[in-house]
């Protein structure tokens, strides 16, 4: 089966590597109002990673409270943990990520390395507000631990929310994200909570976001990937099994 490259077409008709670039960020926060395109971005990032020639080195821990946004990827062999509405399973999934980090640090110490030389693990949370309102005391220490020491262990956090309030995006949590993508928001205050200034409330309804990374800041156009293409890649990998070290 043919696996496409990482180029995706934007609504304007050009090709973009945005999702591939987002996948390279250490930790990424994606926030905007309902229907602003968060799921489109997350699925685009996963699609980009699974279309790479070395995608067998990628692993995913998926937390999908609504059980619909990330469920298509659940059968893929890259997914080492999938948690939906089971509260205990969500905590276990994040605890697994912390154990992976700690194990990798042990290996790095034994080998005299400053950065893990194996594959990447991507923790994707479809709705951060859900786990922060129902399990904050359990998950916040784990999220902070992942954010603070995950970089060297090649364990990355991608968190999405449609409720960008100060209670959800607290300073102690948001400071761990080196990349932030703000999508269309309901208000200027929501925009300030996401990117530190107003502006996201004036973005087009769909297809644009305000991206902040260590190397870039500005408005970006979001590529659109047809549902049929997402299903094609998900189906391709669901029939395969392998072990990722």
Residues with Cβ within 8 Å of 12's Cβ and at least 6 positions away in sequence, in order, are 221
Residue 186 lies in a domain: yes
Residue 160 lies in a domain: yes
Residue 193 lies in a domain: yes
Residue 138 lies in a domain: yes
Cβ(119)–Cβ(110) below 8 Å? no
- Mean pLDDT (whole number) for 196-210: 93
Residue 215 lies in a domain: yes
- Mean pLDDT (whole number) for 5-13: 53
Q: What's the gap between Cα 44 and its chain centre?
A: 10
pLDDT tens track for 138-178: 999 999 999 999 999 999 999 999 999 988 998 889 999 99
Residue 8 lies in a domain: no
Residue 9 lies in a domain: no
Contacts within 8 Å (CB) and 24+ apart, 9-15: 9/223, 9/224, 10/207, 10/221, 10/222, 10/223, 10/224, 11/206, 11/207, 11/221, 11/222, 11/224, 12/221, 14/221, 15/223
pLDDT of residue 55: 74
pTM to 2 decimal places: 0.91
Structural domain boundaries, residue 91: 15-234
Name the pLDDT band for 57 (thresholds 50, 70, 90).
Answer: confident
Residue 166 lies in a domain: yes
pLDDT tens track for 86-134: 889 999 999 999 999 999 999 999 999 999 999 999 999 999 999 999 9
* Number of domains forming the structure of the chain: 1
Q: What is the CATH number of the domain that holds 115?
A: 3.40.50.300
């Amino acid at each position: 089966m043919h696996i496409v490259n990482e180029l995706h077409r934007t609504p304007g008709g050009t090709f973009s590597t945005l999702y591939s670039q987002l996948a390279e960020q250490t930790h990424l926060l994606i926030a905007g109002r309902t229907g602003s395109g968060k799921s489109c971005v997350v699925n685009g990032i996963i699609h980009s990673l699974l279309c790479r020639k070395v995608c067998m080195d990628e692993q995913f821990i998926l937390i999908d409270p609504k059980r619909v946004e990330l469920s298509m990827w659940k059968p893929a062999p890259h997914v080492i943990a999938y948690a939906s509405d089971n509260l205990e399973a969500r905590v276990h999934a994040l605890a697994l990520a912390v154990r992976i980090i700690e194990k990798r640090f042990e290996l790095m110490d034994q080998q005299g390395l400053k950065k893990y030389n194996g594959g990447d693990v991507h923790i994707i949370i479809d709705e951060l507000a859900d786990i922060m309102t129902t399990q904050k005391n359990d998950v916040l220490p784990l999220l902070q631990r992942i954010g603070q020491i995950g970089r060297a262990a090649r364990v990355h956090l991608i968190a999405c929310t449609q409720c960008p309030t100060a209670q959800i995006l607290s300073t102690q949590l948001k400071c761990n994200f080196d990349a932030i993508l703000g999508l269309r928001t309901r208000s200027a205050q929501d925009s300030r909570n996401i990117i530190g200034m107003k502006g996201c409330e004036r973005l087009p309804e769909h297809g644009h976001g305000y991206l902040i990374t260590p190397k870039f800041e500005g408005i970006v156009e979001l590529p659109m990937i047809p549902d049929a293409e997402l299903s094609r890649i998900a189906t391709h990998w669901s029939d395969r099994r392998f072990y990722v070290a």
